Amino acid sequence: MTIPRITDSHCHLDFPDFDEERADVISRAVAAGVHRMVTICTRLRNEPQVRAIAEAHDPVFYAAGTHPMSAADEPLATLDELKALAQHPKFVGIGETGLDYHYSADSAGIQKTSLRVHIEAAQDTGLPLIIHARAADDDMARILSEAWKAQPYDCVMHCFSSSAELARAALDCGFYLSMSGIAAFPKSKDLREIFAAAPLERILVETDSPYLAPPPYRGKRNEPGYTVHTARVGAEAFGLSYDAFAKATEANFERLFAKAAAWTPETA
């Protein structure tokens, strides 16, 4: 029987958690049906290492930006810098960027400045924006919506675990919501209901590995192959078979990350 194919739309394969077995982790993911992964660079000075992982492994694509929790500690990304990175054939998204007031509220000002640079890069390149949002719903909704109304762009709310109000603001702009292992936690019933109320054609799945492993691996190191466990919970939330949910999220990923969908080894 053919295993349904899905994509881990957000992971961190460059993190030291994977240093001893990175190739094996990627192979396990492919064996589980996770035939594509997008590994995310969170500090632009690490971009060469992240790019090298994508170049070395056909199933791996990458994106880069300045994580909001690092915005005060890293040089401000420039529009030209992000647009130059976007020329790489396996560079498929801008970010992750966003706002995090849970841990880093004191840097809210520079976070907003950084976010706007990344939004402009998404607008100019046509690549999707990858958003991290935590404890900043009002500012997040306002900045994303105002920018989208001025010049539309594509976007995914990665590892979405915020309010129904922020979900609605994102969906009103045609953005996507990505399910991580958080959505599979037993106590995340309210979050699953937010996802289930969204259009199926706006849903992605991810691990955010090495963090947030879904059951039955909760509390352990996460890895891209575990996307299937979150996807099974997602299928239940939407009242679908796993196969149907996998096909839907694959179509969604390929619509949003069209550059990844179009890539072949021959185009590299």
What are the extents of the domains in the chain? 6-267
pLDDT value, residue 265: 85
Q: Is 154 annotated as a binding residue?
A: no
Predicted local confidence at residue 191, as pLDDT: 98
Asked if residue 132 belongs to a known ligand binding site, the reply is yes
Q: What is the pLDDT of residue 267?
A: 66
Task: Find out whether 229 is annotated in a ligand binding site.
Answer: no
Helix (H, G, I), strand (E, B) or coil at 184: helix
Q: pTM, whole model, 2 decimals?
A: 0.97
CB neighbours of 52 closer than 8 A, spacing ≥ 6? Answer: none
Quote the pLDDT of residue 266.
76
Residue 158 among known ligand-binding residues: yes
The C-alpha atoms of residue 58 and residue 60 are separated, in whole angstroms, by 6
Q: For residue 166, give both structure tokens.
A: 């922020």
Q: 223-241 burial, b if ≥16 CB within 10 A, otherwise e?
A: bbbbbbbbbbbbbebbeee
Note the pLDDT of residue 2.
Answer: 85
Give me the average pLDDT of each 10-residue run along the chain (268 residues). Answer: 93 97 98 98 98 98 98 97 98 98 96 98 98 98 98 98 98 98 97 98 98 96 98 98 98 98 84
- Distances in Å between the Cα of 146 and the Cα atoms of 117, 118, 139 are 14, 14, 11
Beta bridge partners of 131: 97, 157
In CATH, which of 3.20.20.140, 3.40.50.2000, 3.40.50.620, 3.30.43.10 is domain 6-267? 3.20.20.140
